[in-house]
Amino acid sequence: MGATASGALAGCAGCESDFLEASQQAPTLPLMGPAMKHAADEEVVVRPGGMSKLVFIEMGASTASGASTNDGASSASDAGRPRTTTMSMFMTRGPAVLTAPPISPICSKLGKFRAFLHNAGVDTSSWGRDGKKTVEHLFWETYEQRGCILAIDKDGSLKRVTQLVKVKLLAEIYGVDHVLFSRMQFMQDGHIVERKQLPLTKLGWTIGEEATVLEMSDMFCDEECPMTESWKSGCKRTLEDRLGLTPSWQSKNLIEDLEGYKYSVEADRGSDGFPGLSTTYCIYEVSFRVRDPECPSALTIGLPQGQEFATAEGDCNSNKKQDDGGLAIGTQLNIWTWMREESVKGLLSSENALNSSRLEAFRSEARHSAGTKPHASEESNVGPLPSMMVPGGSMEIGAMRTNSTTITGATVVTSMLGDEAAGRPDAFLVRRVPLPQGMSSGRRNRPKLSLLSKGSEPLSPKTGPPNGELRAAMKDKKTDWTLAKSIAKNILNPSYSLQQYYDDLKAFPELDLYLLEDLTGAGTAAGATPKTTGSGRSSGAEYQRTVGAFFAIYWLCRIDIDGMDGFCNGVDEKWRPFLIRDAHDFRVMFPDKRRAFKAGALWHMFRQLLLDAGVLEERMQRGGVLMSRTEKKTTVVNESRLVALLALTAIHDIMKMSLLLPQVQEQHAPYRGFSAGDTIGDHDQALAYVMEYYPELLPSFRDLNAEEKRVLMFTQCNLCFNHGWFVQAEAPPGAIFTKFRETLIRDHKLEINQRDVALYFVHWVTDLAGAEPTPLAGCEKFATKFPLPVLNSFLRSFETVSHIVSETETQVVEEYLKLRWREAVPPAGPPPTGPCAVAKMRLLCMAQSNAGAILEGFDSIPDEDRETLSVEMSRTGCVGQSFSAELSPSEAGQEGPAFLIYYGPAFLQGLGTDVPGARLGVLAEIFRAAREMWPACIAKVSTNVTIRIDMLKALSVPSILEFAQKGDLWVLMKHNDLEAFVERSSKKKLNRMISGGQAFQVLDFSMVYRYSDDSTKFGTGP
């Protein structure tokens, strides 16, 4: 009781997890928040197996992206140390399980089934390994669960057909829509799968057992297939089997979102679970919304606060071990979490499906290049298997397997990552640089930083402020400035290879810090909340990302040589840039995206950014003799500037290693809000503290001249700058730039010039370009994941943003709006003038591809709405500033506050088939309600208020109106003096708000009918 399982989980996407049985020694946390009172007339869900407590420990964990926190915000939790959570665990029915071991007569049937697969040409030799399912599992799915059928296609091949129901469960948490996901699954075979998965189940086929192998028919994929249970029945069963929500609970507490229904067929897909067996997936996607998240009966699914909970399906309480035959097929434990809706879009996109044939082709070529043969098992050694302790027994957890094939100078690692298979196909081609010998050696024998004896305090052999480990690691270390300067001298030399560049990076001793083992949290007591934060990534991954940023610098400097191909495609086994043959080139993942990026990226803007930052310089070079003298422009490197950028890249993320975080010393307290003795958890502020007070610990910073140090210190300050707000003209000038400008004045006394701001953005670009830990695969973050139009908009904006050092906030924004109008594609016509001009230019930036329709709609809306939008979108949020008189209403610059409509761009970009004027009418009504809540006055002219429309941004206008027709109301709810949310409210909830003195405004969206005599012209939405 109470003892944690030993060992570490291998290959679990950076998250190592242990379970321990809830006991008296483990701290008991509130399971469902303080509101654990049940009204007499409210039904409380009682799961079939009752409720237990589960203590969940994650080593080096971070809160799932977008997960709800206690304050309703989406944020990363402290990482790098154990995080202990006590949660409710409910026993649910789950799908049917194969409870009996394969003995006669089942054994006989299995034998015949195995022979049938063999005769049908299905190779099952790899099944049951590396996370793949077994023949027994397919037998169970086909004959016990009835979750699929097997069919013979016209060409004689065997096909598997399954119909799935995915349920998207939405709930409003702190005024923001959240979706319920299972973020981690512990499977019956011991594998841990870490992924974002909606509640889902396979529909049951109603045909008899003797008919489970049929001739392939289109009827199997019909949306109303007569051979399976209905999808509506499947929805109810999914919620009951997976979450334990009874049908009566569902009918009382859930309402179907009719806009959320979708049916799709993915034919002849490779199956990761059953490789070699072609599978057709028929998928029903259905959305339900929790009527009242504050209802007491919703406590059991973590509402209203969005707390995590667990469900155990099947015989998870079994004491069976794997060596006793294993747990029953179908047994599974899920960790459920609520995540903000906008943070999980695209997670389940079919575009992200794995391409198994491409992966196998890549493996074959890698082996051929290396002159190696595939291993019989291709399995690496793994450590002892830890256990998962649940009330009533334990369950053995198998370690993930890792395959690797070594090729010259690099390693191609293919990992069975389970969850990332659905969302990150390139996770199967993790192309990382080999660790330098100087970095990898010596780490294994390094003394541990803490003693793990239970109940004792960690003992550290390293001492010295502000962090003993950092001081010890950097003792007597020096930067090889000769080698660092040689990088700058050679980087434009065509013969200077990427491999030589990588070898030369050993000039910076701080790179060694990325591979220090963080053992400081190993002895954290259960229930303790670590103070520090981190990236949630392993130190090895941080090293690879840092190298990726270095490679981005190399490739961007060499755009005119070989940089474009390296940046987009990565390099081959000889470190030469890949030249993609066509859109089906199997040597890289997403060759079509990489080709499109190379063709569409604004390479001249990348180059201009380096010139603006002073990293590159253009000089006139004279040639010829006497009368034949010629001049041409040539590019050279500013060596000191580039070396400073390289030094910054080397040290920038070292404080993501939690064991290096500094403590604020008494003589420096308070420091940016931290008191004496506090450990600075924010890695940027932690690095700034060391740079300011202990530069001797960072030799690559210490030895720079005063000017270069000043510039690098500037890059570490918190500029409070949201680039997306600027690029999309989402916010007024004050919200975008005021804090940015105050930082320049307060902390840097106007010593920063445009060149320094440009260097800040060079570092921003290269750091983001290397965000994937796959440096040999190119800058994948940009080439395969980042929307190219957004990146191009960012690049266009950098030069304009740098003018903030000499111009006012409003001047910079106006300059950018005029630039975007001039460069609009397709052309937007002559630049606008008059009181509506600023509003029209902002709408062009916000709507992006829908700009033409939105601007046309703006000209046709009623005068009242057009005037509201023109005035409110022209307010600056700055004292004494206004847009040019010929572009904005005179009253706009005199009073405040100014409003930022958060997700306004997303609302306009999701126009779909809506009438543009209707969407603009919705925004005008929101502005009017906000102005009623915050009346205009001179005293508030410098105030900026955020109006969040999270709940509206993805809805069509008919959907917005439909909720009102059903009796609900749309209200603007004031959360604090600077923030309000658009929320949907029942009349019951509205009465509670009135009695509680809550400030709100009812939104009247019925006026959108004014834009058309026929309401059907609004369309059905996206």
- pLDDT, tens digit (0-9, with 9 covering 90-100), for 424-448: 333 334 478 877 654 433 333 333 3
Task: Name residues whose C-beta falls within 8 Å of residue 394's C-beta, 6 or more positions apart in sequence.
Answer: 5, 319, 321, 387, 388
Helix (H, G, I), strand (E, B) or coil at 633: strand
Between 369 and 970, whose confidence is greater? Answer: 970
Quote the tokens at residue 559.
Answer: 């755009």
Residue 1005 has a pLDDT of 87
Torsion angle (degrees, nearest 10) of CA 447, 449, 454, 456: 120
Between 17 and 849, whose confidence is greater? Answer: 849
Instruction: Report residue 625's pLDDT band, with 50, 70 and 90 as the boundaries.
Output: low
The angle formed by the CA atoms of residues 823, 829 and 833, to the nearest 5 degrees, is 100
* SS3 assignment for 260-312: EEEEEEEEEECCCCCCCCEEEEEEEEEEEEECCCCCHHHHHHCCCCCCCEEEE
Is pLDDT above 90 for 900? yes
Indicate the range of 208-212, 395-399, 816-820, 986-990 predicted with least confidence: 395-399
Torsion angle (degrees, nearest 10) of CA 961, 947, 764, 341: -40
Is pLDDT above 70 for 43? no
Closest by Cα among 878, 873, 885 to 840:
873
- DSSP-assigned letters across all residues of 844-911: HHHHGGGHHHHHHHHHHS-HHHHHHHHHHTT---STT----TTTS-GGGGTSB-EEEEETHHHHHHT-
- Can you tell me the mean pLDDT for 579-586? 82
Instruction: Report residue 786's pLDDT band, with 50, 70 and 90 as the boundaries.
Output: confident
- Can you tell me the mean pLDDT for 29-35? 32
- Can you tell me the mean pLDDT for 517-543? 44
Residue 848 has a pLDDT of 87
Buried/exposed code over 466-498 (b: 16+ C-beta within 10 A; e: otherwise)? bbbbbbebbeeeebeeeebbbbbeebbeeebbb
Quote the tokens at residue 94.
Answer: 């789950």
Between 874 and 101, whose confidence is greater? Answer: 874
Torsion angle (degrees, nearest 10) of CA 434, 440, 444, 449: -120
Question: Strand runs (DSSP E) across 93-157, as ranges?
Answer: 149-152
Cβ atoms within 10 Å of 993's Cβ, excluding its own: 15
Strands 158-173 and 278-290, bridge-based pairing: parallel
User: Do residues 964 and 1006 touch, judged by C-beta distance below 8 A?
Assistant: yes
- pLDDT, tens digit (0-9, with 9 covering 90-100), for 242-284: 888 998 899 889 988 877 888 888 888 888 888 989 999 999 9
The CA distance from 688 to 690, in Å, is 6
Instruction: Report residue 418's pLDDT band, with 50, 70 and 90 as the boundaries.
Output: very low
User: Do residues 53 and 22 touch, judged by C-beta distance below 8 A?
Assistant: yes
Between 1015 and 754, whose confidence is greater? Answer: 754
What residues pair up with 16 in beta bridges, in sequence order? 59
Quote the tokens at residue 328.
Answer: 């029953």
- pLDDT, tens digit (0-9, with 9 covering 90-100), for 473-485: 999 999 999 999 9
Residue 196 has a pLDDT of 85
- DSSP-assigned letters across all residues of 1006-1017: GGGGGG-SSGGG
Cβ atoms within 10 Å of 569's Cβ, excluding its own: 25
- Can you tell me the mean pLDDT for 54-76? 43
The CA distance from 538 to 15, in Å, is 9
Residue 747 has a pLDDT of 61
Indicate the range of 789-793, 903-907, 1012-1016 predicted with least confidence: 1012-1016
Residue 1016 has a pLDDT of 38
- pLDDT, tens digit (0-9, with 9 covering 90-100), for 282-321: 999 999 999 888 888 888 898 988 888 888 876 554 344 3
The angle formed by the CA atoms of residues 871, 874 and 875, to the nearest 5 degrees, is 90
Is pLDDT above 70 for 169? yes
Quote the tokens at residue 75.
Answer: 């944020």
Residue 75 has a pLDDT of 36
**Burial class of residue 145, CB neighbours in 10 A (0-12, 13-18, 19+):** buried
What residues pair up with 431 in beta bridges, in sequence order? 412
Is pLDDT above 80 for 60? no
Residue 41 has a pLDDT of 39
**Burial class of residue 556, CB neighbours in 10 A (0-12, 13-18, 19+):** buried
Owner of token pair 């210190």: 713
- Can you tell me the mean pLDDT for 517-545? 47
Per DSSP, helices labelled H in 409-505 are 420-423, 437-440, 468-473, 481-490, 498-504
Mean pLDDT of the chain: 75
- Can you tell me the mean pLDDT for 617-635? 73
Is pLDDT above 70 for 86? no
What residues pair up with 901 in beta bridges, in sequence order? 947
Residue 157 has a pLDDT of 87
The single-letter DSSP state of residue 674 is B
The CA distance from 613 to 305, in Å, is 46
Is pLDDT above 80 for 79? no
Q: Which long-range contacts (CB under 8 A, 24 or more apart) does 822-828 make?
A: 823/796, 824/851, 826/852, 828/852, 828/855
Q: What is the pTM of this model?
A: 0.54
- pLDDT, tens digit (0-9, with 9 covering 90-100), for 864-897: 999 999 999 999 999 999 999 999 998 887 899 9
